[in-house]
Structure 1
Amino acid sequence: MNLQVKHQIDPVVRTDLDFRLNEVPRFWFNNDPFRTRMFDALSLTFPVGERYFIESVRALRDKITDPELQQRVSDFIKQEAQHGIAHDKMNEEMKHQGMPVDQFTQFLASRFKYLKQHRSKQYNIAMTAAAEHLTALMAETFYNKKETLAEVHPFVRALFAWHAIEEMEHRDVAYDVMINVGEVPESLRKFALANITLLMFGFTFYRANVMLKYDGYTGLQRAKMAVRGIPWFFGRNGKLTAMHRQYLDWFKKDFHPSQHPVIRQYQTWIDTLAETNDPIQAGEAFWQAAW
């Protein structure tokens, strides 16, 4: 990896984007309950999780003296707030389906409250920076190849495309706060990614399993779904397995998120949104431009 190459883009705050989520069918991933609920379970995390990210960065904001980083932090906070609003709408649709959304989000909120009260600012900013690295890689992975999300309803695909774009735009903001003013030990930085990975995917699978139970599937049916469905995510040729090299870059001492290139069709999304003012059309163009 050429450590001199930097691929940094500034966050842009976008508001009032309508993804028409009330028109999306129950199992929007090719009528596949398991894959749909895995993504739904991930979406459930975002509103509460992103509030935690915002608060973790804000806790160190008064130490930042660089005006450019201050502005990037401000835009990061605004972007994350918008993500929370959009995924709250998706969560509302899950509530209409009878999912125990409040139970999940209340548990998450209590966990994040505990971390803020009983863990150091260093711990929380390290967890935030690691989570941002992970979500940016997931965004790249899901949209790098057209076939990955080919069977996803276009409105949901557009929602996650917008989220992916903004994750790439602010992927290094929390990291720069951590490095510049966080005083985070190298051992904690490395631990944070391993920890957040286990927590994120462990809770995602747990929530997906609970939702499938609410959908009416028996324990045996859910077990069969998991056996068939997990390899799509984590198997030898799994979609998330494909990001392992960039994932492991985090553990290099001289790593910085901007060493990873921005997804190839990034500008396609930007230009289409500017031309149409329609995030669904922008998401479709973004997906169509993948390999």
Structure 2
Amino acid sequence: MNAIVQYQAQPVVRRNLDFKLEQIPRFWFGGDPFLTRMFDALSLTFPDGERYFIQSVRLFRDQIKDPDLQKRVADFIRQEAQHGIAHDKMNNLMREQGMPVDQFIQRLNKMFKFELERRSPQYNIAMTAAAEHMTALMAETFYSYKDTLREAHPYVRALFAWHAIEEMEHRDVAFDVMQQVGDVPENLRKFTLAWTSALMIGFTIYRANVMLKHDGFTPRQRLQMNIRGLPWFFGKKGTLTRMSKQYRDWFKKDFHPSQHPVIAQYDIWIKTLAETGDPIQAGEAFWQAAED
């Protein structure tokens, strides 16, 4: 049986980081509209999604007696709030490009409102813990190999690097709330990862294609882009496919997020930010330290 705790990184709240997003081109992923809009669609969900995570954890905050978990929850909330602010700036860029960002967000908020009002607190904390499992894998998924984000603009690459670092730092917070005070049945815990994954993947692809339509691409062009682009994520050697083992660990009865190691170059990001105060330089050093 795996040890319950193997690897830990404490949440650190970092404010006022400037990623100079106003300087990035429209198709910032190597001029590829499909990959750009897939990442844009993912980024678009973060501000309101993370506000939902905060609300889900707050449902149990008064029941938490462990001082260490209380502090980690407070830092989790502060980190998620900062993520929302940064990705709101990304959303504003998409608005300026003519994307239907507000329409997407209105639908998102209706869905989150329904979940919080109609579903049990146990369901919501399990959904949050499952989503945090997925986002915590972002660092390994996108930054283990240099080639994965080689064509991405350095400023956006730095934004996602910072987000991934902090997701790893608080990856076990919602999970520990779920375990210690959530009283979540094992079947519900397992179900929520499958359901969260289906929602996240489905909505990301849908929103990306809506944005491509607003970019002026025809249905035939969008179909061709999907055929060419989706294997980058989901193909036999796709970026997300490579992480399938760590993803599936969630379904083991004795799983805990801290059983997964922190990405090898984590300390490089921390050290570079401390030395320079510049998240773009930290993101670049983090990416450069990945395997070739």
* Inter-partner Cα distance in structure 1 for 2:254 and 2:185: 13
Deviation per CA, 1:152-181: give whole Å up to 9, x if none.
000000000000100000000000000000
Which letter maps to 1:247? Y
Structure 2 equivalent of residue 69 of structure 1: 69
Which letter maps to 1:188? L
* Inter-partner Cα distance in structure 2 for 1:204 and 1:56: 22
Give runs of aligned pairs for residues 81-100 of structure 1, distance below 5 A: 81-100=81-100
Structure 2 equivalent of residue 213 of structure 1: 213
Q: 1:138: Cα distance to partner?
A: 2.4
Give runs of aligned pairs for residues 28-39 of structure 1, distance below 5 A: 28-39=28-39
SS for the counterpart of 1:190 is helix
Native 8 Å contact 2:4 2:254 kept in 1:
no
* Inter-partner Cα distance in structure 2 for 1:118 and 1:128: 16
Is 1:124 aligned to 2:133, yes or no? no
Deviation per CA, 1:32-84: give whole Å up to 9, x if none.
00000000000000000000000000010000000000000000000000000
Q: Compute the TM-score of the two structures, normalised by the length of structure 1.
A: 0.99
Give runs of aligned pairs for residues 120-199 of structure 1, distance below 5 A: 120-199=120-199
SS for the counterpart of 1:250 is helix
* Inter-partner Cα distance in structure 2 for 1:18 and 1:135: 21
Q: 1:283: Cα distance to partner?
A: 0.3
Q: 1:183: Cα distance to partner?
A: 0.3
Deviation per CA, 1:207-254: give whole Å up to 9, x if none.
000000000000000000000000000000100000000011000000
Deviation per CA, 1:97-134: give whole Å up to 9, x if none.
00000000110011000000000000000000000001
Native 8 Å contact 1:138 1:240 kept in 2:
no
SS for the counterpart of 1:254 is coil
Native 8 Å contact 2:83 2:163 kept in 1:
yes
Tell me whether 208-217 or 134-143 shows the greater mean CA deviation: 134-143
* Inter-partner Cα distance in structure 2 for 1:5 and 1:48: 30
Is 1:201 aligned to 2:201, yes or no? yes
* Inter-partner Cα distance in structure 2 for 1:4 and 1:280: 35
* Inter-partner Cα distance in structure 1 for 2:174 and 2:2: 22
Identity over aligned pairs, percent: 72
Q: 1:9: Cα distance to partner?
A: 1.1
Q: 1:3: Cα distance to partner?
A: 2.6
SS for the counterpart of 2:137 is helix
Which letter maps to 2:22? N
Structure 1 equivalent of residue 262 of structure 2: 262
* Inter-partner Cα distance in structure 2 for 1:277 and 1:134: 28
Native 8 Å contact 2:122 2:182 kept in 1:
yes
CA RMSD in angstroms comes to 0.8
* Inter-partner Cα distance in structure 2 for 1:193 and 1:90: 27
Q: 1:5: Cα distance to partner?
A: 5.4
* Inter-partner Cα distance in structure 1 for 2:237 and 2:184: 35
Structure 1 equivalent of residue 233 of structure 2: 233
Size of the aligned set, in residue pairs, is 291
Structure 2 equivalent of residue 17 of structure 1: 17
* Inter-partner Cα distance in structure 1 for 2:64 and 2:3: 25
Q: Compute the TM-score of the two structures, normalised by the length of structure 2.
A: 0.99
